[in-house]
Structure 1
Amino acid sequence: MSFARSLLRVKPAEQLADEGSHTQLHRTLGLVPLVALSVGATLGTGIFVVLAEAAPAAGPAVVVSFVLAGLAALCSALSYAELAGSVPVSGSAYSYTYATLGELVAWICGWCLLLEYGVSVAAVAVGWGGYLNEFLQGTIGMRIPDALAAPPGEGGVVNVPAALVVLLAMSVLLMNVRESGRVTTVTTLLKIAVLVFFVAVAITAFNSDNMTPFAPAGFAGISAGASAVFFSFIGFDAASTAGEEARNPRRDLPRAIMLSLAIVTAIYVLVAFAAVGAVGTQVLGDSDASLATALQVVTGQGWPSVVLALGAVIAIASVVLTVLYGQTRILVSMSRDGLMPPMLAKVNRRAVPARNTLLVGVVVAVLAAVVPLNQLAEATSIGTLVAFGLVNIGVLILRRTRPELERSFRTPLMPLVPLLGLALCVYLITGLDWITWITFGIWSALGLIVYFAYGIRRSKLNGAGVGVGSGSGGGVAGEDGNENDSGAGN
């Protein structure tokens, strides 16, 4: 195989599905925990954290910004749903791209997903610290000193709470997937209850004057707000990373993706509308814990904001948990394909990729401790938008090249929906800051170095590893099996 052809080699969907069907992971997740996984990974990141940054830019029209970002996410979600039902494995967009656009593009997509998941975990962890301080201030009258609660550049030395919540989530993931799924479901329900509580209180103080002027910066402000809040929709695809731990992935993965996006979008719009109408965008932009501050202003009392802050402390921790889970499963797929070290695909007696989870948890904890929130949020958005764009391209290619492939869900209005999703991703990318592009360029260059120095030679599709079964997946599967067999009787 020539060098150029090796970069474009495609891993057949049947081979991916075959490897997924022989996974060492345990299939224990039904539709409800899969929806909770996606909602848990999504709900909270934007409303609890990014609303404070987007509201001053868009004005009251930040509500429209959420709708626009939701539309971009919907088009991509429909493409995700079709590919998740066709290629039900743990690699999410990475695996879908491998089956459609070839190995080099799949690597770039997987590398972007590592940026998306890892950096978004760190960003949410940083926001978590703001609500922890709000809760401590309202209950015991003290706060964590800025030196230990903020990263360098934001008045601190190291963000200890952010690092701790990541390490806590890592500890939960080291349990088996059934137990961590239960934790996710409970914390997601709590998160929804807290936001419903906020809407019920804030709407009582709704003032139409706070909604004017509706779009002070015009469509440019709405667009800038949409680019910022798109970060808050990251996570609806989290269910697709559980393709090898879902009991009925072809049926439940598409349903979980669509249901979670519908739930999240409805809650975001309601909360943004209630928050802006109650206190205006200026108040929201003056605090990292903007919703708790809004309740304090609305009620003139401390206890509602304490309740919200406590709910946010617990609920945002669930985002850290679910997104960290997604990153570990993507690494499993990349490792099984030979593009990452084999140790990252090994599972222990609990069917958990423990070494992978420990490595990811420690790296993300360090990132959360030292990098400012705004840089994390935008770096996450560009990685996500690139991955989403590739998924939209992939569903078009697979429809054309493999029309006979079994599909449990079909994207409607083909090819309009994927093309619109791709166009919106490109449009939102153009609204990101130039420093974000520089960061992304450096990350992509580093990824290409890793691929050409390691992945291209060790790919399971290289040379004798092309066949389904024995050569392609056998090496890693065998190593997994040796470690996992010791606990088979437990």
Structure 2
Amino acid sequence: MTTPAHGHLSALQGTALYIGAVLGTGVIALPSLAAEAAGPASLLAWLGLVVLSAPLAATFAALGARHPDAGGVATYARHAFGERAFAVVGWCFLLAVPPGAAAAALFGGAYVAAALGGGTATTAVTALVLMSGVTAANAAGLKVTGRLQTVLAAVLAALLLSAVALSLPDARAAHLEPFAPHGWTAVGPAAALLVWSFAGWEAITHLAGEFRRPERDLPRAAGAAVVVVGALYLLVAFAVVAVLGPAAGETEAPLGELMARAMGTDARFPAAAAAVLLTTGTMNAYYAGAANLAAALGRDGALPPWLARGSAAGEIPRRGLGLVAGLGTVALTTVLATGVGTDRLVLLTTGSFVTVYAVGVAAALRLLPRRTAGHRAAVAASGAVLLMVAMVAMSGVYLLWPLAVAGAALLYRARAARRSATPPVPRPRAEAGPARGSRR
């Protein structure tokens, strides 16, 4: 077992980071996208993914407790399958964060634009401000990040519970009929979209070494987060379908609609505030994890070595953070310039995360001792991953992205290995000139 590193995060702060990573922006837009795809039957997709997320969370928490390292799932893959797996998983996670961050920032920006006006310009400016703020918070270190995330999680939970409780008097049983207007097979595509909402259980593994006592605090944080996130997702999804009815699949801001029903007034501004908080929480957790991963990849040769600074527990991986922030800005600029929809970004990111899950769970089956709770969770999680792969496979081409990233990672690793194995070419000696004072 790897000797645990001692960081600053408590179990409470870890729970908040988990909630931010998993709850995040999924609750802003995905209830309506899922309802559009499957109607009230989308609730089955939500319930199924809540159930599937429990063994996933337990598996990655068990791995993080035994092997606390900034490499996270990539480190587990290396212990189980070797250096190639380390590079592939590391790149897949790292390059999933920029398009995911762009989608998250745009979700939040759309709510702000709905409140303030200004259309695409307001959305773009808000997205850039969110990215800059999260980058600054992470540059200050995990002490600041952990405290910020604890406050965000508490405010978000109170806000979502209030919106659901106050809107439920408008729920109608008639809104649940027909339950499967697009057929039962539509639950699959709805679930493929919702996989985005449950990505994040692997993200905190990159921060495992930053916990005060990873072997104790990480499983506690994961268990508490599963309960909180599952309850909030199910409550919000049910309220969206039961309260909004047929309009659930037509609105781009289901949380805002719920708040409007709850308050009886224009709820654009509180909905925008909730969206900004949710977006900040998600990006905060992912930027922290991805920055640590970038430093670990640089440390271990899967990325340029100048990224390695900050890979030890307690250090701030500012170079890795700069890489993540830069790629996120490039992704956002590309999306705004091309007009690619956020649903495509969601599916692109989901394909990469499912790949990380698949390799991570396979590594857990090898690394975790048999007859332990962690190994039993990994066995259950393997079934969950197979279902997730099947869901994302329904989206077709989006699985090509992680394949392309894997190929690039292997090419980089092969070139780096050749460079390190090639002995330096000796410089030719300068020809000896004639002795001083001699004649030619």
Measured at CA, do residues 335 and 430 of structure 1 come closer, stay the same or move farther in structure 2, by a change above 3 Å? same
The answer to whether the 8 A contact 1:125-1:162 is kept is yes
- With 211-220 and 339-348 compared, the bigger mean Cα shift is at 339-348
Alignment partner for residue 179 of structure 2, among 199, 202, 214?
214
Alignment partner for residue 228 of structure 2, among 258, 263, 274?
263
- Report the Cα offset of residue 297 of structure 1: 5.2
Alignment partner for residue 286 of structure 1, among 250, 258, 263?
250
- Report the Cα offset of residue 425 of structure 1: 2.9
> 2:118 matched to 1:144?
yes
> 2:167 matched to 1:202?
yes
Q: Which residue of 2 aligns with 1:429?
A: 392
Measured at CA, do residues 209 and 30 of structure 1 come closer, stay the same or move farther in structure 2, by a change above 3 Å? same
Q: Which residue of 1 aligns with 2:323?
A: 359
Measured at CA, do residues 176 and 81 of structure 1 come closer, stay the same or move farther in structure 2, by a change above 3 Å? closer
Measured at CA, do residues 419 and 458 of structure 1 come closer, stay the same or move farther in structure 2, by a change above 3 Å? farther
Q: For 1:299-378, what aligned pairs fall within 5 Å after superposition?
A: 300-302=264-266, 304-347=267-310, 351-371=315-335, 372-378=341-347
Q: Which residue of 1 aligns with 2:32?
A: 52
Alignment partner for residue 386 of structure 1, among 346, 350, 355?
355
Identity percentage of aligned residues = 26
After superposition, the C-alpha distances for 1:429-469 in whole angstroms (9 at most, x for unaligned) are 322x2231333333333333322223x4578xx89xxxxxx
Q: Over aligned residues, Cα RMSD in angstroms?
A: 2.5
Q: Which residue of 2 aligns with 1:477?
A: none
CA distance in 1, matches of 2:197, 2:160: 15
1:434 is matched by which residue type in structure 2? G
- Report the Cα offset of residue 189 of structure 1: 1.1
After superposition, the C-alpha distances for 1:36-74 in whole angstroms (9 at most, x for unaligned) are 111111213211122222111011122111112223322
> 2:150 matched to 1:182?
no
Q: SS of the counterpart of 1:316?
A: helix
Q: Which residue of 1 aligns with 2:114?
A: 134
Q: SS of the counterpart of 2:210?
A: coil
- Report the Cα offset of residue 323 of structure 1: 1.1
1:172 is matched by which residue type in structure 2? A
Measured at CA, do residues 298 and 418 of structure 1 come closer, stay the same or move farther in structure 2, by a change above 3 Å? closer
Q: Which residue of 2 aligns with 1:466?
A: none
> 2:86 matched to 1:106?
yes
Q: Which residue of 2 aligns with 1:35?
A: 15
> 2:127 matched to 1:171?
no
Q: Which residue of 1 aligns with 2:239?
A: 274
1:92 is matched by which residue type in structure 2? G
- With 422-431 and 61-70 compared, the bigger mean Cα shift is at 422-431
The answer to whether the 8 A contact 1:38-1:237 is kept is no
Q: Which residue of 1 aligns with 2:408?
A: 446
CA distance in 2, matches of 1:63, 1:284: 12
The answer to whether the 8 A contact 2:172-2:243 is kept is yes
- Report the Cα offset of residue 76 of structure 1: 2.1
- With 327-336 and 361-370 compared, the bigger mean Cα shift is at 361-370
CA distance in 2, matches of 1:426, 1:59: 23
Q: SS of the counterpart of 2:81?
A: coil
The answer to whether the 8 A contact 2:14-2:218 is kept is yes
Measured at CA, do residues 421 and 101 of structure 1 come closer, stay the same or move farther in structure 2, by a change above 3 Å? farther
1:254 is matched by which residue type in structure 2? P
After superposition, the C-alpha distances for 1:191-237 in whole angstroms (9 at most, x for unaligned) are 11111111012211001111111122233111111111110111233
Q: SS of the counterpart of 1:411?
A: helix
2:386 is matched by which residue type in structure 1? A
TM-score, with normalisation over the residues of structure 2? 0.87
TM-score, with normalisation over the residues of structure 1? 0.79
> 2:83 matched to 1:83?
no
Q: Which residue of 1 aligns with 2:426?
A: none
Q: Which runs of 5+ in 2 are unaligned?
A: 336-340, 423-440
- Report the Cα offset of residue 300 of structure 1: 4.6
Q: SS of the counterpart of 1:99?
A: helix
- Report the Cα offset of residue 309 of structure 1: 2.3
Q: Which residue of 2 aligns with 1:238?
A: 203
Q: Which residue of 1 aligns with 2:433?
A: none
After superposition, the C-alpha distances for 1:358-413 in whole angstroms (9 at most, x for unaligned) are 221122022123323112100111111111111221111224xx66xxx9x73264
Q: SS of the counterpart of 2:80?
A: coil
1:452 is matched by which residue type in structure 2? A
The answer to whether the 8 A contact 1:88-1:249 is kept is yes
The answer to whether the 8 A contact 1:393-1:422 is kept is no
CA distance in 2, matches of 1:36, 1:370: 31
CA distance in 1, matches of 2:90, 2:262: 44
Measured at CA, do residues 366 and 419 of structure 1 come closer, stay the same or move farther in structure 2, by a change above 3 Å? closer
Q: Which runs of 5+ in 1 are unaligned?
A: 1-13, 137-142, 151-158, 464-490
Q: SS of the counterpart of 1:190?
A: helix
CA distance in 1, matches of 2:242, 2:297: 46
The answer to whether the 8 A contact 2:59-2:378 is kept is no
- Report the Cα offset of residue 182 of structure 1: 0.7
- With 332-341 and 168-177 compared, the bigger mean Cα shift is at 332-341
After TM superposition, the runs of 4+ consecutive aligned structure 1 residues lying more than 6 A away are none
The answer to whether the 8 A contact 1:28-1:246 is kept is yes
> 2:189 matched to 1:224?
yes
2:216 is matched by which residue type in structure 1? R
CA distance in 2, matches of 1:180, 1:300: 35
- With 316-325 and 418-427 compared, the bigger mean Cα shift is at 418-427
- With 380-389 and 79-88 compared, the bigger mean Cα shift is at 79-88
- Report the Cα offset of residue 312 of structure 1: 2.0
- Report the Cα offset of residue 348 of structure 1: 11
The answer to whether the 8 A contact 1:48-1:289 is kept is yes
